[in-house]
């Protein structure tokens, strides 16, 4: 459920050089039984004494979630799953919105350093790796996936994008007025629970000149939270209660119907 | 009305779930089966994670079986002693099955084994039921006498030790075959999210040679015990029972089961069996189809951390 609560406009002390500022319409997403995803609007402003061309990039990174991915292979005419590969370090939700395509805003190395954009997500499959000495160089990390690594990685991103959990939007940050911009963050129903780190980066001449961080918290609330905690903290009791509900309702129905 | 399920972590339409529960409950009461083999695939197609679907469905099967077993027991159509022996095996099977499923999930092979089990067991049993019952329906239409049931009971059933009297089934047999049958069905109930009635009923008729009158009631009785246990184990070991999902399904399920049980007296047993065989066969083929068609995307996410 999204409760619109616009915080008062931030008063920014005049600083030398350009700065960026931003606020979220909703920093706390409550997952209740009516939850069907949420849309959060991010408003921001660029304060720049001079009027240099500015680009804004908004990156939302959900809690890390190990990803297990398998490849379908044909064995004796049947499509079966290969042994799954576990990717670590990938977020459960990722969105990169920008005012222009990222590659036009900054150089590859700058983007890589900032971890800006899906192509720059650090994703490893540690179980597939081993450390070797190659050509006399020690501690070289070698992946069992070898050249296929990129294909696996692309598959992770493709599947996550299909589930609306990863998104890249080259026009996601829109300047609505001089120096004033907005971006929308769409959380699907399957968005993981936890803290979402939102980073707003102001680029000028291909260099990040100002950064702001905001946090979105997605948490289960109300009955959903209570049941989830019950299921995870006292699983055996939870199981017994659910079976009792089942058996009692079965018995009740047969009693009610017998009277009729 | 869309509702967010706390354990499955997906949003589904509550009305559709109740309706589905009622339809499957009706079929369950009509044929005297749990109905899990129908409901679990439907839940998977709705996007419920397999682990949650299988575990919550065990809970739903327990409810609809409890709803119909009471009426069977009033008509003295439940062999509690045989049901107890089967359930003892079922308990062991459920324990094993929950662990096997846990391991399969870690290996990323849960989907494959679920599809394959559906294809093999539903395909085989559905096909056999269909052939057998269509045959007897045709014979009846032609006015031929029903095929003689081989009354000679298999020798191996009597040669085994640990013989026990089952008065309600008019049997005096070893407990080993029913226990093995129970273990087998228990494993299936944990892996496939089914009660196992579609296997138990024919096995009781053709292997244990129980009188037709007590078969359905006894199978339901054993299913209640096995699925209740499987449900508690899934909740305890895997935290995968979604109580909201199970409750929505059983709301419709227990009512549907009552109507189904009433409707069952209007049909002939052979016709019912033919219809059930057809449904079972279609379900098995549908679930198994995924193994043969080339996937759209060669990669598949197999459950994140959970």
pLDDT tens readout for residues A118-127: 888 877 776 6
- What would the DSSP string read from start to end of B193-251? S---HHHHHHHHHHTS---HHHHHHHHHHHHHHHHHHHHHHIIIII----HHHHHHHHH
Which of A218, A246, A249, A251 best tests the B interface by mutation, with the highest count of B CBs <10 A? A246
Of B239, B299, B305, Cβ closest to residue A65? B305
Measuring CA to CA, which residue among A127, A131, A149 is closest to residue A140? A131
Contact A250 B64 (CB under 8 A): yes
Answer whether residue A144 shows pLDDT above 50.
yes
What pLDDT, on a 0 to 100 scale, did the predictor assign at position A244? 93
pLDDT 10s digits, A28-37: 888 888 888 8
Look over chain B and give the mean of its residue pLDDT values, rounded to a whole number. 82
Instruction: Name the band, by pLDDT with cuts 50, 70 and 90, for residue B275.
Output: confident
To the nearest whole Å, the CA of B60 is away from the closest chain A CA by 7
Q: Is A260 on the interface with B (CB under 8 A)?
A: no
Residues A86/A112, Cβ–Cβ less than 8 Å:
no
Contact B109 A81 (CB under 8 A): yes
Which of A73, A166, A254 best tests the B interface by mutation, with the highest count of B CBs <10 A? A254
Contact B292 A78 (CB under 8 A): yes
What pLDDT, on a 0 to 100 scale, did the predictor assign at position A132? 62
Using CA coordinates, name the residue in chain A closest to B110.
A81
Instruction: Name the band, by pLDDT with cuts 50, 70 and 90, for residue B305.
Output: very low
Class of residue B269 by CB neighbours under 10 A (exposed 0-12, middle 13-18, buried 19+): exposed
Q: Which of A5 and B8 is assigned the larger pLDDT?
A: B8
Q: In chain A, what residues touch B243 (CB-CB under 8 Å)?
A: 227, 231, 238, 241-242, 245
In whole angstroms, give the CA distance from residue B238 to residue B245: 16
Find residues 92-111 of chain A whose CB sits inside 8 Å of chain B.
Answer: 92
In whole angstroms, give the CA distance from residue B80 to residue B84: 6
Question: What does each C-alpha distance from B251 to A40, B12, B19, B165, B277 come to in angstroms?
Answer: 36, 16, 9, 38, 26
In whole angstroms, give the CA distance from residue B272 to residue B270: 5
In whole angstroms, give the CA distance from residue B212 to residue B79: 12
H or E segment at B257? Answer: helix B243-263
Answer whether residue B291 shows pLDDT above 90.
no
Complex ipTM value: 0.81
pLDDT 10s digits, A149-182: 788 888 888 988 988 899 888 888 998 888 899 9
Q: Is A86 on the interface with B (CB under 8 A)?
A: no
3-class DSSP assignment, residue A64: strand
- Reading the block at residue B153, the tokens are 């009971």
The values of phi and psi at residue A200, to 5°, are: -115, 120
- Reading the block at residue B219, the tokens are 């199978």
Q: Is A155 on the interface with B (CB under 8 A)?
A: yes
Residues A213/A198, Cβ–Cβ less than 8 Å:
yes
What pLDDT, on a 0 to 100 scale, did the predictor assign at position A238? 92
Instruction: Name the band, by pLDDT with cuts 50, 70 and 90, for residue B143.
Output: confident
Q: In chain A, what residues touch B246 (CB-CB under 8 Å)?
A: 242, 245-246
Contact B4 A228 (CB under 8 A): no
CB-based burial, A32-45: b 16+ in 10 Å, e otherwise: ebebebbebebbbb
Q: Residue holding tokens 């109930």?
A: B189
What pLDDT, on a 0 to 100 scale, did the predictor assign at position B149? 57
What pLDDT, on a 0 to 100 scale, did the predictor assign at position B306? 42
Measuring CA to CA, which residue among B12, B38, B13, B2 is closest to residue B257? B38
Q: Which of B159 and A19 is assigned the larger pLDDT?
A: A19
Answer whether residue B28 shows pLDDT above 90.
no
CA-based R_g, chain B, Å: 19
The values of phi and psi at residue A193, to 5°, are: -80, 140
In whole angstroms, give the CA distance from residue B131 to residue B260: 24
In whole angstroms, give the CA distance from residue A147 to residue A100: 31
Q: Is A239 on the interface with B (CB under 8 A)?
A: yes
Helices then strands, counting H and E runs in chain A, come out as 5, 15
């Amino acid at each position: 459920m999204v409760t619109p609560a616009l915080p008062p406009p931030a008063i920014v002390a005049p600083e030398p050089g350009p700065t960026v500022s931003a606020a979220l319409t909703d920093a706390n997403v409550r997952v209740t039984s009516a939850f069907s995803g949420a849309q959060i609007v991010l408003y921001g402003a660029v304060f720049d004494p001079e009027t240099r061309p500015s680009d804004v990039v908004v990156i939302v990174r959900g809690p890390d979630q190990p990803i297990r991915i398998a490849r379908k292979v044909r064995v004796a005419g049947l499509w079966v799953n290969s042994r799954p590969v576990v990717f670590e370090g990938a977020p459960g939700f990722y969105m990169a919105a920008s005012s222009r395509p990222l590659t036009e805003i900054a150089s590859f190395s700058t983007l890589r350093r900032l971890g800006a954009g899906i192509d720059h997500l650090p994703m490893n499959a540690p179980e597939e790796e081993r450390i070797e000495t190659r050509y006399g160089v020690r501690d070289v990390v070698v992946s069992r996936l070898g050249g296929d690594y990129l294909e696996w990685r692309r598959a992770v991103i493709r599947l996550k994008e299909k589930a609306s959990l990863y998104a890249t939007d080259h026009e996601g940050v829109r300047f609505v007025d001089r120096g004033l911009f907005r971006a929308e963050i769409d959380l699907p129903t399957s968005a993981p629970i936890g803290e979402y780190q939102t980073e707003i980066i102001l680029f000028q001449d291909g260099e990040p000149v100002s950064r702001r961080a905001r946090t979105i918290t997605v948490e289960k609330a109300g009955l959903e939270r209570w049941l989830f905690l019950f299921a995870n903290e006292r699983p055996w009791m939870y199981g017994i209660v659910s079976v009792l509900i089942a058996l009692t309702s079965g018995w009740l129905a047969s009693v009610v119907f017998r009277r009729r | 009305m869309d509702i967010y399920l706390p354990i499955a972590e997906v949003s589904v339409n509550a009305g559709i779930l109740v309706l589905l529960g009622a339809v499957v409950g009706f079929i369950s009461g009509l044929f005297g089966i749990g109905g899990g083999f129908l409901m679990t695939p439907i839940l998977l197609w709705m996007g419920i994670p397999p682990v949650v679907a299988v575990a919550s469905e065990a809970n739903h099967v327990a409810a609809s079986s409890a709803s119909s077993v009471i009426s069977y027991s009033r008509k003295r159509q439940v062999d509690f002693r045989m049901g107890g022996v089967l359930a003892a095996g079922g308990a062991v099977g459920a324990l094993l099955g929950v662990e096997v499923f846990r391991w399969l999930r870690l290996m990323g092979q849960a989907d494959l084994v679920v599809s394959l089990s559906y294809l093999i067991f539903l395909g085989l049993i559905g096909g056999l039921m269909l052939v057998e019952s269509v045959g007897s329906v045709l014979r009846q239409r032609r006015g031929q006498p029903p095929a003689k049931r081989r009354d000679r009971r298999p020798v191996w059933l009597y040669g085994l030790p640990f013989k026990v009297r089952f008065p309600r089934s008019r049997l005096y047999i070893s407990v080993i075959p029913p226990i093995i049958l129970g273990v087998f069905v228990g494993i299936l109930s944990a892996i496939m999210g089914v009660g196992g009635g579609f296997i138990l009923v024919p096995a009781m008729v053709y292997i244990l040679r129980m009188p037709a009158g007590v078969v359905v009631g006894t199978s339901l009785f054993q299913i209640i015990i096995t699925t209740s246990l499987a449900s508690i184990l899934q909740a305890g070991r895997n935290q995968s029972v979604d109580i909201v999902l199970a409750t929505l399904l059983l709301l419709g399920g227990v009512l549907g089961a009552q109507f189904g049980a009433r409707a069952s007296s209007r049909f002939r047993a052979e016709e019912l069996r033919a219809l059930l065989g057809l449904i079972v066969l279609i379900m098995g083929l549908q679930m198994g189809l995924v193994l043969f068609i080339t996937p759209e995307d060669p990669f598949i996410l197999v459950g994140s951390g959970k």
